[in-house]
């Protein structure tokens, strides 16, 4: 367990070192789309493209929910540019997963 915490801490530190928040949104959405899409492949009868599309849609829903949650916190707002970066990440994740 300590090794996993170290890996997660290293990833968190690396993500926080990226200067623009938009790149983090794009990267996380790309990775989440890939993980969900490829995770669905062995457990569903859907094809590769359908799993990739569902992964992208699930990720986009999570992204919208995250932005909505941010808007309920004091000093934050629903940031459409973050959502655009999320959508681009989902698109790239879809392409990578569907190939």
| CA gap 8, 4 in Å, rounded | 6
For residues 70 and 77, the answer to whether their CB atoms sit within 8 Å is yes
Band (4; pLDDT cuts 50, 70, 90): low
Q: Is the pLDDT of residue 2 over 60?
A: no
Q: Is the pLDDT of residue 59 over 50?
A: yes
pTM of the model: 0.78
24-44 per-position pLDDT tens digit: 899 999 999 999 999 999 998
Mean pLDDT on 41-62: 94
Percent of the chain clearing pLDDT 90 (strictly above): 55
DSSP state of 65: H
b/e string for 22-58 if b means 16 or more Cβ within 10 A? bebbbbbbbebbbebbbebeeeeeeeeeebbbbbbeb
- Collapsing DSSP to helix, strand or coil, 84 comes out as helix
């Amino acid at each position: 367990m300590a090794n996993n915490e170290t890996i997660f801490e290293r990833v968190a530190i690396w993500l926080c070192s990226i200067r623009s928040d938009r790149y983090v949104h794009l990267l996380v959405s790309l990775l989440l789309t890939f993980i969900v899409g490829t995770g669905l492949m062995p457990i569903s009868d859907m094809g590769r493209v359908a799993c990739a599309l569902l992964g992208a849609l699930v990720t986009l829903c999570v992204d919208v929910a995250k932005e909505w949650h941010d808007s309920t916190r004091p000093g934050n707002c629903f940031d459409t540019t973050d959502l655009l970066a999320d959508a681009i990440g989902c698109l790239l994740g879809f392409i990578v997963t569907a190939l």
